[in-house]
Amino acid sequence: MDIEKAYQAIINGIQNYFRDNNFKNAVLGVSGGLDSSVTVKLAADALGPENVIALTMPETGITSTENMMHAKKLCEFLGVHSLNQSINSYMLNYATLPWKQSDMANMNTKARVRGTILYNFANTHNALVIGTANKSELMLGYGTKHGDLAADIFPLGDMFKTEVYALADFLEMPKEIIEKIPTAELYPGQTDAAELGGSYEELDVILKQYELGEDMLIEKGMNAVLVRKVFMRMKANKHKLEKPFVVKVENDL
């Protein structure tokens, strides 16, 4: 991939999308991680930093101070205004539900609370929500339906994670952001690699070959166990990127 051409294509894509939909302002969640950091830079370049608002939405006790510091400093450097809103008080309300929540439900609720906050801001300030998911995450369904997968546009949606690293280098993003271990910080010690069963370098090789045809994978000498995990995850999460199923009713019923 020609990273410089990819960068320009993304900038043009963002500008065209906002122009075609008659929006000027954008809001996105910035966590201090690679994807959101690259995305806020792209948004600022495309729309102008004065038209972009970054929301940091930490969970006190879980979100690292380092990530919040990186997010704040990056926004200041880019000239993007940032606002901070902890999600702890919102999560307390779910503790009163008349059933015991599963760990998965609790983690997904955190992502959905953040999505709700973003859209509350967007509706209030006539803005569009910019998502931060990359192509690897989207193909794997590695995200929360109606949570971090809720967005109006995904600037990195056609770039594999390893390509996002290359783009970050091209954009001269801070090394401390590029080199940190990918994590959604939904629970202590969480990492993307542990949940996905492999590094993004390993996963992207499989995902790229998948686009060329499934039958090529094992023949390339890839980790058969990881390949099966990838296929299972893609199949199980396919619904996350599809529109809600509409039950058809015959006109003559």
Give the residue-averaged pLDDT of 227-252: 90
66 burial type by CB count under 10 A (0-12 exposed, 13-18 middle, 19+ buried): exposed
DSSP-derived secondary structure letter, 143: S
* Per-residue pLDDT at 253 exceeds 60: no
Contact criterion met (CB below 8 Å) for 59 and 24: no
What is the per-residue pLDDT for 59? 96
Has residue 219 got a pLDDT over 70? no
- What is the pLDDT confidence band of residue 186, given thresholds at 50, 70 and 90? confident
What pLDDT shows up at residue 217?
A: 62
CA distances in angstroms from 151 to 12, 13, 67, 101, 116, listed in the order given: 18, 15, 22, 26, 11
Q: Indicate the length of the chain as a whole number.
A: 253
In angstroms, what CA-CA distances link 72 with 55, 63, 75, 137, 160?
Answer: 10, 14, 5, 25, 26
Question: What is the reported pLDDT for 250?
Answer: 78
Give 218-221's long-range contacts (Cβ < 8 A, gap of 24+).
Answer: none
Q: Categorize the per-residue pLDDT at 220 as very low, low, confident or very high, splitting at 50, 70 and 90.
A: low
Which CATH class name applies to 3-191?
alpha beta
Confidence band, pLDDT 50/70/90 cuts, at residue 218: low
Calculate ∠ Cα 239-17-6, nearest 5°. Answer: 85
pLDDT at 213: 79
| Residue percentage of the chain with pLDDT more than 70 | 96
Per-residue pLDDT, averaged over 143-166, amounts to 97
Name the 3-class secondary structure at 146: coil
pLDDT in tens, 136-147: 999 999 999 999
Mean pLDDT, rounded, of the chain: 94
SS3 117: helix
215 falls in which pLDDT band (50, 70, 90)? low
**Which residue ranges make up each domain of the chain?**
3-191
Query: In sequence order, what DSSP letters do the residues of 149-195 get, joined into one string?
Result: T--SB-TTTTS-HHHHHHHHHHTT--HHHHTSPP---SSTT--HHHH
Query: Region 191-200: what's the mean pLDDT?
Result: 94
Whether 133 has a pLDDT exceeding 90, the answer reads yes
Tokens 């059933």, residue?
A: 99
